Chains A and B, each alone.
Chain A
């Protein structure tokens, strides 16, 4: 039985550990510090925590200014607000001058649940990925969240990390080294490769188990970093399994599917299917009901895998 842990709470705890190691760590939030769990840091280091109120544009540029003055800034809010309300600020004031601002969002995707479409970011990966030099990471569980946050802190340049509201089963192991830009194989398989990020990794594993019962061997990859995406791993998997399925809790435009597809198109074209929200807004509901409604569940993985396999030549 896998442990179920909160990625947000792990984020807060990791910030405290980083804050203990370096006085240069500063954290900014926009009136959601309880939800994003930056409050854990605020309680421990009140002088290095800045609640900017409900003003994400000011928050991002203030973080940029702190970075220019030598600080390592973490800027947090819900995914929809911290990437949508202030995209141009992130592009022009953070990425263009190459600031060490780590944008850590929580509440990415539809599993936000009952708050509905206005609060469900399904485009954040796409809009962050479109910014030159931006690194985009989507950890799959709390252990990977800790590693991603630590890596981002010491990484030179802007980083976007997307976390979920929902608690997630722990899949990554604490010992395994984490490297930005490297995906890893969670499960071996030869008929199809399922490449997943975030909370879709667990669903991909469940889909792979259903496939196994039907005699189909599915490889499961945790891509972790959507940009720069692990081209070597994608190409290797395409060569070895001959078809690919991507799985993400994001709109079908501009996310993991497109990142993987761009690599396949250029390096090793093979049949590819995408499990994602099919160009739609979210809506209110229980997270599990929403996942089923939007076909982000193990049966959808199975169908996509079969489609991909059926399109293989020969």
Chain B
């Protein structure tokens, strides 16, 4: 059997930042066309997803079902537009698909649907379940060929779900080292700042107390993201959590750190301003 070529890696932070900028544009256009979607959350986690898909994960767009692939579970499923933008970049889905986000019978449902959309590993949207799903995948695949790595991207507000800590406990118990949780810690949730609604900090200490390897980084710094992902891969005693401090709405000044942009779509004027801000540069 021919082993498929792994996706070429890009590890240059400047190149990654350039891709992230283009993908932010794609996210905004997609949500604007749909007239609904989660702008702030998609913009806060896109750099994490770029680091994973461009630099870290083994995946094969011509064969989304390749058994040796690493897998991503977007546990904070409302950030789906960020994942869709990436899947489009790699050719899993078409530009036409992007234009049909959240439409009837579209493969791009409001929250990721693994039965409809190629490249989506798990149907998510109901918060708190993705880490358990990712852990199940990791347990099932860790003794097999290629030993795929499984990544779960969580929100910091999502950590309020009790099931997250059940999964944190069980992954530590089973020392599932091919599992990596990345917390998109943008500090905001629908009703306000996370520390006001229901404090979850200190996040890294909590993961460590459960027996995880945990690191805290700037979630928009590609050098830091890549180093943290390297560290997670090299840690073989158990699972790793990367607490990525991020800015909700990152890249569009009028969205940044604004709670009202959690689930709001930009109108035509806002889109034009945002795209202008994201033009040129690196």
Contact = CB atoms under 8 A, between A and B. Distances in A.
Do A and B come from the same complex? yes
Interface of A: 26, 47, 50, 52-53, 55, 57-58, 60-71, 73, 88-89, 92-93, 96-98
B136 A63 contact: yes
Contacts of B138: 65
Nearest to A69: B140
Given A55-B170, A93-B129, A61 B136 contact: yes
Contacts of B122: 64-65, 68, 93, 97
Contacts of A67: 136
A70 B136 CA distance: 11
Contacts of B174: 50
B68 to A, nearest CB: 12
Nearest to B120: A97
Interface residues of B, number: 32
Contacts of A60: 132
B170 A53 contact: yes
Nearest to B152: A65
B135 interface: yes
13 contacts: A26-B140, A55-B170, A61-B133, A64-B132, A65-B134, A66-B137, A66-B140, A68-B114, A68-B121, A69-B141, A73-B136, A93-B123, A97-B123
Contact of B133 (A64, A70, A88, A98): A64
B123 A96 contact: yes
Interface centre among B123, B143, B169, B173 (most CB of A within 10 A): B123
Given A55-B170, A88-B126, A92-B126, A65 B163 contact: no
Contacts of B115: 96-98
Contact of A62 (B67, B128, B143, B170): B170
Report whether over half of chain B's contact residues are helix, strand or loop; otherwise say mixed: helix
Contacts of B129: 57, 61, 89, 92-93
Contacts of A68: 114, 121-122, 133, 136-137
A229 to B, nearest CB: 25
B114 A58 contact: no
A159 B218 CA distance: 44
B57 to A, nearest CB: 16
Contacts of B125: 92
A70 B140 contact: yes
Contact of B123 (A57, A63, A92): A92
A277 B138 CA distance: 43
B167 interface: yes
A62 B133 contact: yes
Contacts of B260: none
A157 to B, nearest CB: 11
A70 B139 CA distance: 12
B6 interface: no
Contacts of B143: 47
A20 B48 CA distance: 42
Contact of A65 (B113, B140, B166, B173): B140
A70 B135 CA distance: 14
A61 B140 contact: no
Sorted nearest first, the 6 A-B pairs with minimum C-beta distance are A65-B136, A61-B132, A58-B166, A69-B140, A55-B166, A62-B136
A62 B169 contact: no
A58 B85 CA distance: 30
A66 B136 contact: yes
A98 to B, nearest CB: 6
Interface centre among A47, A62, A66, A98 (most CB of B within 10 A): A62
A47 B174 CA distance: 11
Contacts of A55: 163, 166, 169-170
A62 B150 CA distance: 13
A61 B168 CA distance: 13
Contacts of B140: 26, 65-66, 69-71
Given A93-B123, A98-B115, A57 B137 contact: no
